[in-house]
Structure 1
Amino acid sequence: MDPKKARRAVVVTTPAEARAACDEARKRGLRVGLVPTMGALHEGHLALTRLARQKADFVVCSIFVNPTQFGPNEDFDRYPRDLEGDVTKLTEVDLVFAPSVQAMYPPGDETRVRVGALAEHLCGPHRPGHFEGVATVVTKLFGVVGPCTAVFGKKDYQQLAVLRRVVTDLFLPVDVVGHPILREPDGLAMSSRNAYLSPEERAKALSLSHGLAAAARAFEAGERRAGTLRELAYAPVAAVATSIDYVTVADADALVPFADGASVGARATLAIACRVGKTRLIDNVVLGEDLASSIIPAF
């Protein structure tokens, strides 16, 4: 996009306003793109909007910290919020949909989108109800925006898989597109929660990308034993993490974990969730797709 013609997105706060704008865009023959976010935008989010701009003519970015995907002891109240700052960054976006909780969950709201086997492993056991909350709010957004191309980051790999399943199972008129993980120059996956990390914790957080890169390099060299690949990622994380939810090698599509003694095929997902200090971090690599050099360029 020509920087001299940078857009200033229109901000709306009600589902009716957002639906009307998207319907009007389609009447004009424009393809609608959607980038759902919880705000606290960083370069990773902005990359999603740039991809949406390539795929669509009228781009919507939702900014909504969704309460139903947070557990009772998670960081809903302290999750960073900066709507005005976020809007100024969205130069590829035509419409920002920034509803209140009451707008998205009106009085009497009781419907939820139940998810199945894809949510049973990885983050599922550690965040009960999380993926139901994600599936519910994103389905609401799809209902508001209507037929569209929706772009999500692959850092939330399990979320992406769940949402693709939702779209398929519910016959929603949405094309779901995944964007590769955006990383800092040293390999740390970009995340809004990185803002919680102290300088010392920020250095420790690099253990995730270093472990993933070590496993990816071994896979590229021919290693196929799930336990060996898992241990290569686990060891650096275990050395510095406050706690570990999982370091798991799983089927790249079904997300069912491999036993340590099993051999993986041409593709497998290696995913990590842990806490550094009080901050929960996630990261992943798709072995057979993502090269070690894409995680840490100099690795």
Structure 2
Amino acid sequence: MQAAVATARSSLTLHRTVASIRSMRHALDPAVKIGFVPTMGALHEGHLSLVKEARARNDIVVASIFVNPTQFGEGEDFEQYPRQLEQDQDLLADLGVDHLFAPDANSMYGKNHDSFVSVEGFEDIAEGKARPGHFRGVATIVTKLFNIVQPSNAYFGQKDAAQCCLIQRIVDDLDMPLHVNVIPTVREPDGLAMSSRNAYLTTTERQAAPVVYRSLCAARDLFLGLPAESSIPAAHIQQVVESILASEPLVSEVQYVAIDNKANMRPIDDDVHRSEGAIISLAVKVGSVRLIDNIVL
């Protein structure tokens, strides 16, 4: 009975869920302002904050759910990544999403698919080195989705800072007629950034996981305490973050702590100037679960 009620509610507000590219294109009117929220599903409040922003500022809202195989590397969690389409449909319907695009891999990558999008330099930044090929997969699928949906506005979360920078680079370099909107990271009450992968954490690991944000906040507080015209070595900021992460036994691996330029995610090797700022990003494993986060100085 509960499932039937949920389905009825979805049919009232979510105009349609489509799986084919042709159907998605035919469903949209290019004369209206289209807001687009690309996701891999397993939706949480972070995703829903993007949908709410899109709903408030556009005539039509499109969300997509596609677990993109080309952005997962060997040994990563593509097969295990949480998939909950029916539940996600209800969440999107409740927020007034007009169309959900939920293709399968064969639709997005046909048997003769040979074209990929690669953005120079991103394989050399910290996240690119940690996940070889990841950014090529992201750049390709986002470009394909933009071509299919033709949005006026696209919405992404700040938690994936390098991805946001990559997508802005694609839009600027390829003269795509849309605006990229980056929305602040949504966090749990204890500071943990919301992520679909948080579901992998055991109870004990979940209790330990806020150390990630706590380490970033310590570095931010140090930076904000500097005089307005001063600077601090990037290595010192990195040490502050790493020392707090090291205090938590359940942090099994620190893949990187990066101090980067806010505009292009390139490393800052010398001093971070108080007047210019930076972005601190990191990837760590709590137990076996890989978590990423960042904070803007």
When normalised by structure 2's length, the TM-score is 0.90
Deviation sequence 1:21-72 (CA, Å, 0-9, x none): 12xx33xx42001000000000000000011112211000000000000001
The answer to whether 1:102 aligns with 2:106 is yes
Of 51, 57, 70, 2:53 maps to 51
2:73 is matched with 71
What's the CA shift for 1:125?
A: 0.5
Deviation for aligned residue 1:147: 3.9
Shift of 1:235: 1.4
| 1:135-178 deviation digits (Å, cap 9, x = unpaired) | 00000000101142000001000000000000111111221110
Verify the 8 A CA contact 2:123 2:133 in the aligned structure 1: no
**Aligned with residue 277 of structure 1, among 268, 287, 294:** 287
In structure 2, C-alpha distance between the alignment counterparts of 1:83 and 1:119, rounded to whole Å: 32
Closer, same or farther: CA 275–9 of 1 in aligned 2, 3 Å: farther
SS in 2 for 1:263: strand
**Quick one: which of 78, 91, 97 aligns to 1:93?**
97
Mapped pair 1:13 → 2:19? yes
Q: 2:216 aligns with which of 192, 208, 212?
A: 212
**Once the 2 structures are TM-superposed, how far is the Cα of residue 9 of structure 1 from its aligned partner?**
4.3
Q: What secondary structure does 1:203 align onto?
A: helix
Structure 1 runs of 4+ with >6 Å offset: none
Give deviations 1:63-93, integer Å, cap 9, x for gaps. 0000000001100000000000001001231
Tell me by how many angstroms 1:227 deviates: 2.2
Q: Give the secondary-structure state (helix, strand or coil) at the position aligned to 1:114.
A: coil
Which ranges in structure 1 are unaligned for 5 or more consecutive residues? 288-299
Aligned equivalents of 2:206, 2:164: Cα separation in 1? 26
- 1:245 matched residue in structure 2: 255
Is 1:84 matched up with 2:86?
yes
Shift of 1:16: 0.7
Q: d(CA) in 2 for partners of 1:189 and 1:107? A: 37
Equivalent residue in structure 2 for 1:190, among 184, 194, 206: 194
Which letter maps to 1:149? N
**Inter-partner Cα distance in structure 1 for 2:137 and 2:143:** 10
SS, match of residue 123 in structure 1: helix
Report if aligned partners of 1:119, 1:158 keep a CA contact under 8 Å in 2.
no
Tell me the CA shift for residue 190 of structure 1. Answer: 0.3
Residue 163 of structure 2 is aligned to residue 159 of structure 1: yes
Unaligned runs of 5+ in 2: 1-8
State percent identity of aligned pairs: 43
Bigger mean CA offset, 132-141 vs 164-173: 164-173
Task: Tell me, yes or no, if the aligned pair for 1:149 and 1:177 is still in contact at 8 Å.
Answer: yes
**DSSP-derived class of the 1:274 partner:** strand
- Matched residue count: 279
Mapped to 2, the partners of 1:38 and 1:250 lie a distance apart of 27
Secondary structure of 2:282 counterpart: strand
Alignment partner, residue 34 of structure 1: 36
Q: Distance in 2 between matches of 1:264 and 1:256?
A: 15
Equivalents in 2 of 1:38, 1:245: separation in Å? 23
Q: Residue 123 of structure 2 contacts residue 132 of structure 2 at CA under 8 Å; is this kept in 1?
A: no
Aligned mates of 1:238, 1:132 — CA distance in 2: 32
Which piece of structure 1 moves more, 249-258 or 186-195?
A: 249-258
- The two structures, once aligned, show a CA RMSD in angstroms of 1.7
Q: CA deviation at 1:262?
A: 2.3
SS at match of 2:187: coil
Question: Hey, what's the Cα distance between the residues in 2 that align with 1:115 and 1:12?
Answer: 30
Matched to 1:278, the amino acid is: S
Per-residue Cα deviation, 1:97-149 (whole angstroms, up to 9, x for no partner): 00000000012001000111244212000100000000000000001011420
- Aligned 8 A contact 1:119 1:162 in 2: no
Is residue 9–residue 87 contact of structure 1 (8 Å, CA) maintained in 2?
no
User: Hey, what's the Cα distance between the residues in 1 that align with 2:262 and 2:159?
Assistant: 14
- Aligned partners of 1:42 and 1:191 also within 8 Å: yes
